[in-house]
């Protein structure tokens, strides 16, 4: 299957409220429309995870990130300009997202992906895509497609074909929480 067709299928499934498995700039992810509360609830169910634990969303650009956070502090842009690995930022003032994706304190975890497949997927979808590791909560993250349990594969509506054959180490992103006053807290290195 061609990458374009794979992306088209994945986008179509998410537009209908479905859940996908897809390769990201880090580990394999379970994804859905980050603005659809029902789809987000299904992802929590699939992961057997409490919805009080927020999930990461992927976007394709700075401009897209700004549509989902009330006020992006300048330190966020400075940080994103100088990081050399995939880095998720937790920002206050989440807007225009499914309520069950926003943490109790009003923050959201967003990452601008630079990896070709996930970037194009987010670009074509025109909205943030949930990106939580393709595993049951508490189990190791699926670095490659072959690491994903059959239970997870069977519970989604579409499994992307791109990068299924890949066998190389991938690590989850760094996570940094930024406060409105410029405070920086490293959640995961």
What does the block give as tokens for 28?
A: 């394999």
Place of tokens 């992103």: 173
CATH number, domain at 84?
3.90.870.10
66-86 as b/e: b if 16+ CB within 10 A: eebbeebbebbeeebeeeeeb
Is residue 93 very low, low, confident or very high in pLDDT (cuts 50, 70, 90)?
very high
pLDDT of amino acid 51 = 77
Is the pTM higher than 0.85? The answer reads: yes
pLDDT at 59 over 90: yes
Query: How far apart (Å, rounded) are the C-alpha atoms in residues 61 and 129?
Result: 12
pLDDT, one tens digit per residue, over 111-165 is: 999 999 999 999 999 999 999 999 999 999 999 999 999 999 999 999 999 999 9
Residue 110 is part of which domain span? 3-188
* Residue 62: count of CB within 10 angstroms of its CB: 13
pLDDT digits (tens, 9 = 90+) for 109-121: 999 999 999 999 9
The end-to-end CA distance of the chain, in Å, is 35
Read off the pLDDT of residues 12-56 as tens digits, 9 standing for 90 and up. Answer: 999 999 999 999 999 999 999 999 999 999 999 999 988 777 899
Average predicted confidence (pLDDT) for the chain: 95
**Cα(145)–Cα(165) distance, rounded to whole angstroms?**
7
- Looking at residue 22, what is its pLDDT? 98
Beta carbons of 46 and 19 less than 8 angstroms apart: yes
- Of the candidates 161, 132, 111, 121, the one whose C-alpha atom is nearest the C-alpha of residue 53 is 132
The total number of structural domains in the chain stands at: 1
Residue 179's pLDDT is 83
């Amino acid at each position: 299957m061609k990458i374009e067709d794979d992306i088209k299928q994945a986008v179509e499934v998410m537009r209908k409220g479905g859940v996908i498995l897809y390769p990201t700039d880090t580990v394999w992810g379970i994804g859905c429309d980050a603005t659809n509360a029902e789809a987000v609830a299904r992802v929590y169910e699939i992961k057997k995870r409490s919805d009080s634990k927020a999930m990461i969303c992927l976007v394709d650009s700075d401009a897209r990130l700004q549509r989902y956070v009330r006020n992006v502090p300048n330190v966020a842009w400075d940080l994103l300009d100088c990081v050399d690995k995939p880095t998720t930022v937790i920002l206050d003032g989440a807007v225009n997202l499914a309520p069950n994706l926003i943490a109790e304190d009003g923050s959201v975890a967003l990452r601008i992906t630079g990896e070709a497949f996930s970037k194009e997927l987010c670009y074509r979808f025109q909205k943030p895509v949930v990106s939580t590791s393709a595993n049951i909560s508490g189990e190791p993250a699926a670095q490659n497609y072959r690491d994903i349990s059959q239970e997870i594969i069977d519970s989604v509506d579409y499994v992307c074909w791109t990068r299924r054959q890949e066998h190389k180490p991938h690590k989850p992103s760094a996570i940094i929480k930024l406060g409105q006053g410029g405070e920086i807290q490293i959640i995961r290195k």
